[in-house]
Amino acid sequence: MVNKMVNKIRKKLTERQNKVLRTIENFVLEHGYSPTIRQLGEFLGIVHPSAVFKHILSLEKKGYLKRVKGEVKLTGFAALLEKTRVPLVGLVPAGQPREVFDASGEAVDVPDWMVGRRRGNIFCIHVEGKSMVDAYVDDGDRVLVERTNSANSGEMVVARLDDDSVTLKRLRIENGNIFLVPENPEFEPIQVKELRVLGRVIGLLRKY
């Protein structure tokens, strides 16, 4: 009942207020507690604590958070834990390229906040190999990928090679040359004649 009442009184946020709220949400999801005014100011690039506090008061008045004994609490935080099902596709190696990249018919549950407005354009791959371990992507991990046929140099991508096999690597474009670079010194970069991106990595799913 309380959450329903809060939702009813919520008002539209300004662009700046939305950024402040998203910053708080991301911090809570990562750390399990809210940031201090000083920490929030550092993330937002706001020097004066009073300016940060002004945003906090505005969000509180609009029903998006509340202060309890000096600590910021998000209202309706359970919504951040809602799930979206995305398709799980065939194994993509982070090692030697393979030809497996087919829909498995399975799906995985992903937190809504990881998908955002890109829902319907996201798929999940199960990684084999250790060529990306220095980028914290290990054998057995599942990574979220946004479907796209373009990417910027430096992004982690799923790419199709000249022999039509598929691999997960870091894209590097230097002086017109295209490289798919591993994040493990035991593996060599792959140079390709033509860039054929199938998607770029937007997140990592892992159980410990």
Indicate the pairing of strand 122-128 with strand 83-93: parallel
* Spatial CB neighbours of 121, under 8 Å, sequence gap ≥ 6: 146, 147
- CA distances (Å), origin 72, targets 27, 37, 107: 12, 9, 35
Distance CA 3, CA 162 (A): 53
Q: Is 169 a known active-site residue? A: yes
- From the list 19, 34, 169, 193, the catalytic residue is 169
* Alpha carbons within 13 A on the beta-carbon side of 117: 0
Q: Where are the alpha helices (DSSP H) in the chain?
A: 2-9, 15-31, 37-44, 49-61, 112-115
Q: Is 62 a known active-site residue? A: no
- From the list 12, 58, 131, 153, the catalytic residue is 131
Catalytic residues: 131, 169
